[in-house]
Amino acid sequence: MDIMIPVWQKISAPQIAAKDLQGLKGSKVAIIDDNFDVPFTSHLEKLLREVHGALVERFVKPLGTAPSPKSLIEAAAKSRVAIVGIGL
């Protein structure tokens, strides 16, 4: 399985995410939150912080069903890991 980096491309070929991540402790993790299930996303954030030691930054989309704005994607892309497309 390849993990793609969902950022605005300046090149035509997709970028493959680094495969050297051994754990989340100390890693910056971005959560792209569509704001549909706040309790679920809050619990996920808590688990990532408390159980896995991740440094979590949560980005809330202005319109949950709309694509993320370019500025939000660029900010999330500065993280080591991004969680997007959470569906329940």
pLDDT the model gives residue 53: 96
Residue 16: closest CA among 4, 6, 33, 28: 4
Q: What is the pLDDT of residue 17?
A: 63
Sheet strand arrangement including 55-60: 55-60, 28-33, 81-83
Read off the pTM: 0.74
Residue 52 within a domain = yes
Locate the DSSP E strands across the chain: 28-33, 55-60, 81-83
Residue 1 lies in a domain: no
- Does the pLDDT at position 73 exceed 80? yes
Question: What average pLDDT does this structure show over 44-67?
Answer: 91
Does residue 63 lie within any of the structural domains?
yes
Q: Is residue 19 part of a domain?
A: no
- Residue 21 counted as domain residue: no
pLDDT digits (tens, 9 = 90+) for 7-30: 555 655 655 666 777 888 999 999
Q: How many domains does the chain have?
A: 1
> Length of the chain, please?
88
Domain limits for position 67: 28-83
**Whole-angstrom Cα distance, residue 84 to residue 17?**
14
Q: What is the pLDDT of residue 56?
A: 97
- C-alpha span between 83 and 73 (Å, rounded): 11
